[in-house]
Copies of this chain bind each other. A is one copy, B any other.
Amino acid sequence: MQALIFDLDGTLVDTVYAHVFSWQRALAESGMNIEGWQIHRKIGMSGGLFTRAVARELNRELSLQEVEKLQDRHSELFDQLLPERKPLHGAVELLKYLKDEKITFGIATSGRRPDINASLNVLGVGDDVVVIERGNVLRAKPEPDLFLACQQKMNVRVEDCYVVGDAVWDLLAARRADMLSIGLLSGGYGEDELSRAGAYRVYRDPMELLNSLDELGVLP
């Protein structure tokens, strides 16, 4: 294996619970009451798909304008709840190791700029790292477009890529991109959910992944 493609929220930065909570509040303000655990299990899809999925469950139809308004309100509440992003255990060390050892890696996220900028900053990700965000592709996870765009921009082969993610949407999109995948528990899914969704291995967090690169065949 020659390259790693990382999801961002819940995989490298500790943001999942703030996302759940700010989505829940944004939706409730628009009269859509949905429970925390159901939001949690949907996070990682594109925001557009996510809001439509929620609306469908509540038998409502949302216009494109309403979807955008919800996304903006979510971003606003998220920034209030979590003004300071925190890297997950080992995330900074993992990316530094990959860089130092010249192992190819990139980031592919359903999030958007400028929302994701603070997370990239705290991880020390600069302009030299390939970052594919929602705005760069037509369709976000669970479509494979984000991962395929990242792989193409990194100029590696599909079969040489591991996708690393915390949500079943990452693992589903990885399968559809024909890539192997690795699950992390740091987004709050259970181990079995990630294994069943196709994760080749499941680790606690980026630190355990860093210490397990040998058993994945990722070698300098």
A16 touches B33 (CB 8 A): no
Chain B residues positioned under 8 Å from A37 (CB to CB): 10, 16-17, 185-188
- Kindly identify, within residues 166 to 194 of chain A, every residue whose CB is under 8 Å from any CB belonging to chain B: 185-193
Looking at A20, A35, A185, A192, the one whose CB has the most chain B CB atoms below 10 A away is: A35
Task: Tell me if A42 counts as interface (CB < 8 A to partner B).
Answer: no
Name the prevailing secondary structure of the A interface residues: helix
A86 at interface by CB-CB < 8 Å: yes
B16 touches A188 (CB 8 A): no
Residues of chain A having any CB pair with chain B under 8 Å: 10, 14, 16-18, 20-21, 24, 33, 35-37, 40, 81, 86, 88-89, 185-193, 205
9 A-B residue pairings within 8 Å (CB atoms)? A14-B36, A17-B17, A17-B37, A35-B86, A35-B88, A35-B205, A36-B188, A40-B188, A189-B190
